[in-house]
Structures are given as C-alpha cells and as structure tokens.
C-alpha cells in the first residue's frame, strides 16, 4: 500500500476503467473484447501520469470470457509498465484455500492478473479475508474491503448490528488491527453515504486505512461533500470517479481529472 500512499501525495483521484457496452458505443468502439481492449489501453495511456490509481472493473472483462481476461492481463501489464498503481475491482470473497487461490490470482508477483491491490467482499466475515491480507502484506500490496456502500440496499447488511456493533464498524476495527503491522487494508466507503460513517461509529483515523470513495461525479457526490462525510479522515480519502471522466471520450479525460483534482 506504500506505493499508493506515495502516489496520493500528487493526486487524490482514482479513475475506474469500466468498459460497459454503453461507453464502448459512445466511444465508437464495438461491444467486443477488441473494443474493450482499445478502450482500456487508451484510458491507461492517457491517464497513467495524472491519477493516483486506475481501477479496472473485472466484470466488464469477464463478459467476454477468456478473450476478455486476456485484455485484462494486457491492461494490467500496460499500467504496471507506466508505473501507475492498479486497484483491480473484483470484490472477491471466499474462505480458506479458495480465498487463498483468489489472492494468488491477483496479488502474487508474476501472476498473469497481478495488480497492486484488489477489492474484496467480507460477507463471510472479515476474518475470512486473511489469506488475501497476508499475501498482500508479504508483497507490499493492498486489499480494499467493502465497508459502507451508497446503493440503497447496502445498509440492510452493512448497518446490521451484533452485540451493538454494526457490520461496517466491525470491518473498520478489523482493518485497524490488520494495519497495525503495516498498511495493507483499505476500506471502500461510498462518497454518498451521508452521515453513515458517524452513525455507525467508525473510527477511520485510527484504522489507518486508505479510503476508496466511489460515487464522485455520475453517482452524485461532489468533492466538496467529502469533508462532511469523512471528517478528520479526509487526508486518507482517495476519490474514485468513472463515468464522469470516461464519458468525455479519448483526448479529454486527463484535463477533466485535473479539474476534479482542483476541487
């Protein structure tokens, strides 16, 4: 995670690479693995020098099976060659040797789909993510655990409580413990969750987590909303934006990132 912390000295923006069919069409590209390839390589090429991180969304590559995954490999390779931090958005979550296999797939140096960090889903309990956290720590990589999302259905799970502690708070406390050894675990907290951080009693500063905050731009949050949501943890926030940048099309994205940054 150290590399990301350094990258955040010069940029506080992560751009998602979301080659969904609507965007491919608006870019004049076919809705095929080849279209996804053109799109992805162009985004990496244009933005590698101006963002803190790029976040490819695996779902849009998986649509095309092995052909799509070949493109994802190439996208991650190009990003690495350009020296930009990659957060692969896969939201994996499983137990034991299966979670270990996901970790091997994405966090093992030299793996075909090696990224600098991945997103993970703690539905099986945050402790189930240990194989990914351990491998990430070993190699200086990162794991971003879903914590508080801004979709309307999120609170039904994330605000639920056990012994007076919400699921979201338990994940935040678990991150704090994991990060006491070395910064490894980040948290995904939507930029549109309103007062849920305070309401769930999350101590984000003590967690020492980088906070990946999707929802800027198309999903309705403004950079000016962030201080109210994250309070003293604002310096830990990496704002994530996808469609508001991607929809502009090639040649216009880098300047739009600079505008985001200025806010």
Using rule CB under 8 A, residue 194 touches its own copies: no
In the residue annotation, 247 being an active-site residue is answered as no
Chosen residue from 5, 111, 176, 244 binding its own copies by CB under 8 A: 111
89 SS3 class: strand
91 SS3 class: strand
Chosen residue from 156, 181, 251, 262 binding its own copies by CB under 8 A: 156
What is the residue whose two structure tokens read 């030299």?
Answer: 110
- Nearer Cβ to its own copies, position 12 or 141? 141
Backbone Cα Rg of the chain: 17
Chosen residue from 11, 40, 50, 128 binding its own copies by CB under 8 A: 128
Q: Least distance to its own copies from the beta carbon of 92, Å?
A: 7
What are the angstrom distances between the C-alpha of 198 and each of 43, 165, 208, 209, 215?
Answer: 36, 13, 17, 16, 18
Which residue in the list 55, 91, 169, 263 is annotated as catalytic?
Answer: 91
Q: How far is Cα 178 from Cα 174, in angstroms, rounded to an integer?
A: 6
Phi-psi domain of 136 (left: phi exceeds 0; alpha: psi -120 through 50; beta: other) = alpha
Q: Which stretch binds its own copies (CB under 8 A): 115-123, 134-142, 191-199, 228-236?
A: 115-123
- Nearer Cβ to its own copies, position 42 or 91? 91
Using rule CB under 8 A, residue 92 touches its own copies: yes
Q: Which stretch binds its own copies (CB under 8 A): 37-45, 64-72, 178-186, 252-260?
A: 64-72
Q: How far is Cα 40 from Cα 72, in angstroms, rounded to an integer?
A: 8
Q: Which residues are catalytic?
A: 91
């Amino acid at each position: 995670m150290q590399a990301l912390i350094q990258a955040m000295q010069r940029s506080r923006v992560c751009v998602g690479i979301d080659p969904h069919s609507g965007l491919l069409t608006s870019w004049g590209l076919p809705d095929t693995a080849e279209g996804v390839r053109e799109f992805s390589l162009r985004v990496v090429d244009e933005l590698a020098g101006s963002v803190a991180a790029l976040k490819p969304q695996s779902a849009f590559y998986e649509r095309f099976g092995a052909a799509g995954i070949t493109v994802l490999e190439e996208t991650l390779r190009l990003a690495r060659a350009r020296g930009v931090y990659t957060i692969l958005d896969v939201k994996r979550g499983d137990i034991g040797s299966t979670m270990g296999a996901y970790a091997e797939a994405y966090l093992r140096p030299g793996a075909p789909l090696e990224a600098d960090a991945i997103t993970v889903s703690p539905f099986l309990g945050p402790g189930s993510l240990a194989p990914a956290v351990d491998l990430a720590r070993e190699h200086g990589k990162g794991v971003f655990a879903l914590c508080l999302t801004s979709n309307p259905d999120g609170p039904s799970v994330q605000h639920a409580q056990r012994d007076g502690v919400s699921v979201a708070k338990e994940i935040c406390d678990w991150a704090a413990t994991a990060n006491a050894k070395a910064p490894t675990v980040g948290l995904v907290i939507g930029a549109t969750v309103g007062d849920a951080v305070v309401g769930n009693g999350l101590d984000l500063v003590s967690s020492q987590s980088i906070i990946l905050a999707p929802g800027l731009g198309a999903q309705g949050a403004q950079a000016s909303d962030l201080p109210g949501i994250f309070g003293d943890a604002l310096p830990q926030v990496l704002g994530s934006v996808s469609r508001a940048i991607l929809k502009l099309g090639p040649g216009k994205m880098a300047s739009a990132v600079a505008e985001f940054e200025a806010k």
